[in-house]
Structure 1
Amino acid sequence: MLPIRIQLFAAALFLAAGAATAQQPATIRVDYTHSGNALSDQYALERVLIEPLPWPGDMSQPFDNTNRGQNRVEVVDAKTGEMLYSRDFSTVFGEWRTTEEANKISRGFHESVRFPKPDRPVRVRILKRDERNEFSVAWSVEVDTDGPDVVKKQGPAPATPIPIRVSGPSAQKVDLLILGDGYTQAEMSKFEADARRLSQHLFEVSPFRERANDFNVWAMAVPTQESGITRPSTGVHHASMLGTRYDIFGSERYVLTLDNRALRDISQYAPYEFIEILVNNETYGGGGIFGQFSTAAASNEWANYLFVHEFGHHFAGLADEYYTSPVSYQSSGARMEPWEPNVTALRDPARLKWKQYVKPSTPLPTPWPKAEYEEYSRAYQKRRAALRAANRPESEMNALFREDLARTKALFANAKYRDAIGAFEGANYEASGFYRPAMQCIMFDRSEQFCQVCQDGISEIIDLYARPVSKK
């Protein structure tokens, strides 16, 4: 007799697969190494494998026309060049190469692309944005998914996925996988509670609230020996299968895993298109990379915000709209029009990407209390840095965050364009030259809602993965 947890997962997986399972092809994963520095990069094939579960995506929507991300994968017929599949994404390497370290050394990062198994040999192409902000081929490799070098059998699952929300067949839904890191065996019930709590909050925020039935949610965690994840800046080092840690690229609040192979080898045992990693820590932190994964500190007072904000990066490629917090990235000085849907360089106001929401009476750029905000923010950031430097209790940092949000809301309350969509200068980590669509949004500060432009950006990605239900 199978354990009850496995029985429940099997039943949920059967429901998620639905009648479409027989028609769904296998899932192919191509693992490769992406290395280089700020000036150049190279690719090298590592392996091709068939994952244990069928392709979770909608075969009727093979092409990505959202034009997001720094990269694109294209799968084409090796003989004819016919396009079979495409998806846009960004990478950890792409973020690292904007750091100061990338000007000094070269590093290698493990990456993966996944696609439905083709019935013929294919060429897998990785594209990246060029100086024109257009995609051009950076690497290409021929792949025969029936070849002798393809890994066709996997070992046992390291953990059993938990069905959190099953709305229907995976091929017709967005499959979100919530992974846990830093949870011991004794804390598995806490992980499940965290996953349920935070995913429930996600579906209380528009447009996820209105589109909740377009999602399946799964949760899975491989237990660790110690509670919590690595935080090098405080001398804390914990081993885990995912290797998630704080202090990525020198930013104390940036949480990622750099072990993509481990991430994919664990995730392949659940249906997924998107991943959010919950870390079992109280310290504020998170991260998100479009088309890869996002992270959030599940035990922090601001976990709800972190889960949704970072998922906005990962799921929809939304840009950060804040610009006064210190970040690890270096400014290039260039003001190319960003690919992210919620920021602009405003080179031509008449062609603003969210022009349909701007009233004729709203000026572009749009006035807001920028000077007052920046004056307060400078003092706030000094206090924030001092708290971290002194390793003060997290309760003091949480109190500072509450004070900051209240101060910002009070400052914006009587602003003339408080509720308008326009072009507010200050976004994308830059005080000038980039503009955001609204004065306040989850991508700007610890607010509760996405602005309309961000909601549209999210909805477009939902539409790419979730098949609309026909109306009778």
Structure 2
Amino acid sequence: MRVSLLLLLLTASTALAAPRTFRVDYFHTGNATEERFSLERLVVEPLPWPGHPTRMVDDTNLGKYLFEVRDRKTNRLLYSRGFASIFGEWELTGEAKQGHRTFSESLRFPSPEGPVQVLLKKRDAQNAFREVWSLVVDPKDPFVDPSSPPAPGALIKFLENGPPQDKVDFLILGDGYTEAERPKFEKDARRMLDILFSYSPFKERKADFNVWGLMPGAAESGISRPSTGIHRRPPLGSTYDAFGAERYILTFDNAALRDTAAFAPYEFVEILANGNTYGGGGIHNLFGTVAADSLWAPYVFVHEFGHHFAGLADEYYSSASVYGPAPEDRVEPWEKNVTALKDPTQLKWKDLVTPGTPIPTPWNQVAFDAHSVQIQQRRQKIRAERKPEAEMDALFTSQRDWEEKFLGALKVAGKVGAFEGAMYESRGFYRPQTDCVMFTRDRVPFCAVCQHGISEVIDLYAGPARTQTRKTP
């Protein structure tokens, strides 16, 4: 299939201004207590680097991992980005205590002019970054692969507000859509975008975004759902039941994802999975996912994009988690919207706290938790008995209606404080407001702290030009 005319024009218009995009694909292997890294391949992608030359250094302090690219001769910092990974989540599961697994991952950066040192860092027990892997990359190495894989189809322009280097470039990929369903993919994507840009601060910053779309045609409609015996091979490998969680949609096929996405300028990726069962996922600076036909797709899309785009933490704590409990001696999370509140006087969002609000902030958690227990019991019963999805939708609707009324009636509703209950734990972690997109399925906005965190990331890609290109995060 030929690359679209739009793609060719985009490539020609920016080729002189920007280097190509370089990619390091590697294997990430380990278990709950150890991990190893090994090079898989070095790739030069078809398109120029979409980022701005003055925004090469990531100063957001987000992500469980961080990678740096340094000039081999001078040790000058050329590029850095924080991120999270599938391995970083999997290592917290019970399965990781029983055996090893390997995941493929990628690091993308502007093609260097000469040899560079690529350093991968991970947060230690105190959440400080420590080097865990390093390799030298020479762009003139004969094994660097500049060839292009087969194009996945025409590049769709959902929203274009300027050159890629000046904007946040957001790519929506369709998975599990047949060629006959291409119009459905475009309709689904536009519907999700309308929802996303109705939320602040995306609404106010819409002009800072370009949104692109790609949809490799699937042989059959839908994606895998192993817990119900459904196994398919969609082009991007999307599947429900990641880590044994029936609602969690991920792809473990990194090569398919990256080789497809390489035909669009992008910093962020959302996979629209062609399915109607409630589900989705989001990993910071990796990708987000959503089941496009679920009744709750608009909410899941926005919630999971919050994870992927700004590294926002889950603020809920009553739903079953695939991860083990947090240690008793909780360290301060790196996520901007949750805190262990070791010192109430040093609350990390103290500048946003509503005057006169006590820290920590009382909020009648006992009554909320009692209702949540009932909901979870009914939810488990519906899944165990494989009831129609409509029954789950009805349950979630009744839960939303009750929670909106309960949380909205609290005296502290709408105020910024520190409310106990977050990050899958009812005790020990705190969130900024009683309600938020990251807490419930309620028809509420992102809280003030989440909005601030999202704005910081938008600024990293589309804010004023930066001069601190040599700063080390």
Shorter-chain TM-score bucket reads over 0.9
Report the Cα distance in structure 2 between the residues aligned to 1:341 and 1:467, rounded to whole angstroms: 19
Report the Cα distance in structure 2 between the residues aligned to 1:120 and 1:104, rounded to whole angstroms: 43
Q: CA deviation at 1:119?
A: 1.1
- 1:350 is aligned to 345
Q: Map Cα deviations across residues 170-199 of structure 1 (whole Å, 9 max, x no partner).
A: 000011000011111111100011011101
Q: CA deviation at 1:21?
A: 4.3
Contact 1:29 1:48 in 2 (8 A): yes
- 1:435 is aligned to 430
Structure 2 residue 434 is matched with structure 1 residue 456: no
Report the 3-state secondary structure (helix = DSSP H, G, I; strand = E; otherwise coil) of the residue aligned with 2:250: coil
Which of 194, 200, 208 is the aligned partner of 2:188? 194
Q: CA deviation at 1:412?
A: 1.6
| Bigger mean CA offset, 272-281 vs 394-403 | 394-403
| Bigger mean CA offset, 93-102 vs 381-390 | 381-390
- 1:120 is aligned to 114
Q: CA deviation at 1:404?
A: 0.4
- 2:440 is aligned to 445
Q: Which structure 2 residue ranges, 5 or more long, are not aligned?
A: 467-473
Give the letter for the 2:373 counterpart: R
Report the 3-state secondary structure (helix = DSSP H, G, I; strand = E; otherwise coil) of the residue aligned with 2:251: coil
- 2:197 is aligned to 203
Which of 401, 410, 413 is the aligned partner of 1:415? 410
Written as runs of structure 1 = structure 2, the 5 A alignment for 1:204-283 is 204-283=198-277
Written as runs of structure 1 = structure 2, the 5 A alignment for 1:54-69 is 54-69=48-63
- 2:314 is aligned to 320
Report the Cα distance in structure 2 between the residues aligned to 1:282 and 1:167, rounded to whole angstroms: 32
Give the letter for the 1:426 counterpart: G
Which of 6, 12, 25 is the aligned partner of 2:4? 6
TM-score of the aligned structures, taking structure 1 as reference length: 0.96
Contact 1:245 1:256 in 2 (8 A): yes
Report the Cα distance in structure 2 between the residues aligned to 1:233 and 1:214, rounded to whole angstroms: 40
Q: Map Cα deviations across residues 91-112 of structure 1 (whole Å, 9 max, x no partner).
A: 0000000000000101111000
Which of 310, 314, 333 is the aligned partner of 1:338? 333
Q: CA deviation at 1:120?
A: 1.4
Report the Cα distance in structure 2 between the residues aligned to 1:57 and 1:141, rounded to whole angstroms: 23
Q: Map Cα deviations across residues 20-48 of structure 1 (whole Å, 9 max, x no partner).
A: 54221110000000100000100001111
- 2:390 is aligned to 395
Written as runs of structure 1 = structure 2, the 5 A alignment for 1:173-188 is 173-188=167-182
Structure 2 residue 403 is matched with structure 1 residue 405: no
Contact 2:7 2:264 in 1 (8 A): no
Contact 1:58 1:467 in 2 (8 A): no
Q: CA deviation at 1:227?
A: 1.0
Give the letter for the 1:272 counterpart: Y
Which of 147, 157, 162 is the aligned partner of 1:153? 147
Which of 370, 381, 388 is the aligned partner of 1:386? 381
Report the 3-state secondary structure (helix = DSSP H, G, I; strand = E; otherwise coil) of the residue aligned with 2:455: helix
Report the 3-state secondary structure (helix = DSSP H, G, I; strand = E; otherwise coil) of the residue aligned with 1:23: coil
Q: Map Cα deviations across residues 312-343 of structure 1 (whole Å, 9 max, x no partner).
A: 00000000000000010111324110000000
Q: CA deviation at 1:79?
A: 2.3
Q: CA deviation at 1:9?
A: 5.1
- 1:105 is aligned to 99
Contact 1:319 1:428 in 2 (8 A): yes
Report the Cα distance in structure 1 between the residues aligned to 2:406 and 2:170, rounded to whole angstroms: 37
Contact 1:9 1:162 in 2 (8 A): no
Structure 2 residue 81 is matched with structure 1 residue 87: yes
Give the letter for the 2:462 counterpart: A
Report the Cα distance in structure 1 between the residues aligned to 2:465 and 2:350, rounded to whole angstroms: 30
Report the Cα distance in structure 1 between the residues aligned to 2:288 and 2:247, rounded to whole angstroms: 13
Contact 2:420 2:426 in 1 (8 A): yes
TM-score of the aligned structures, taking structure 2 as reference length: 0.96
Contact 2:178 2:221 in 1 (8 A): yes
Q: CA deviation at 1:156?
A: 3.0
Which of 374, 379, 392 is the aligned partner of 2:369? 374
Report the 3-state secondary structure (helix = DSSP H, G, I; strand = E; otherwise coil) of the residue aligned with 2:239: coil
Report the Cα distance in structure 2 between the residues aligned to 1:469 and 1:152, rounded to whole angstroms: 30
| Bigger mean CA offset, 135-144 vs 383-392 | 383-392
Contact 2:103 2:252 in 1 (8 A): yes
Report the Cα distance in structure 2 between the residues aligned to 1:204 and 1:22, rounded to whole angstroms: 36
Give the letter for the 1:245 counterpart: T
Report the 3-state secondary structure (helix = DSSP H, G, I; strand = E; otherwise coil) of the residue aligned with 1:86: strand
Q: CA deviation at 1:155?
A: 3.0
Report the 3-state secondary structure (helix = DSSP H, G, I; strand = E; otherwise coil) of the residue aligned with 1:461: helix
Give the letter for the 1:259 counterpart: D
Q: Map Cα deviations across residues 56-79 of structure 1 (whole Å, 9 max, x no partner).
A: 011111100100110001000112
Report the 3-state secondary structure (helix = DSSP H, G, I; strand = E; otherwise coil) of the residue aligned with 1:85: strand
Q: CA deviation at 1:158?
A: 2.3
Contact 1:369 1:411 in 2 (8 A): no
Report the Cα distance in structure 1 between the residues aligned to 2:325 and 2:181, rounded to whole angstroms: 41
Give the letter for the 1:357 counterpart: L
Contact 2:161 2:210 in 1 (8 A): yes
Structure 2 residue 311 is matched with structure 1 residue 300: no
Report the Cα distance in structure 1 between the residues aligned to 2:374 and 2:423, rounded to whole angstroms: 21
Report the 3-state secondary structure (helix = DSSP H, G, I; strand = E; otherwise coil) of the residue aligned with 1:69: coil
Q: CA deviation at 1:133?
A: 1.0
- 2:471 is aligned to none
Number of aligned residues:
464
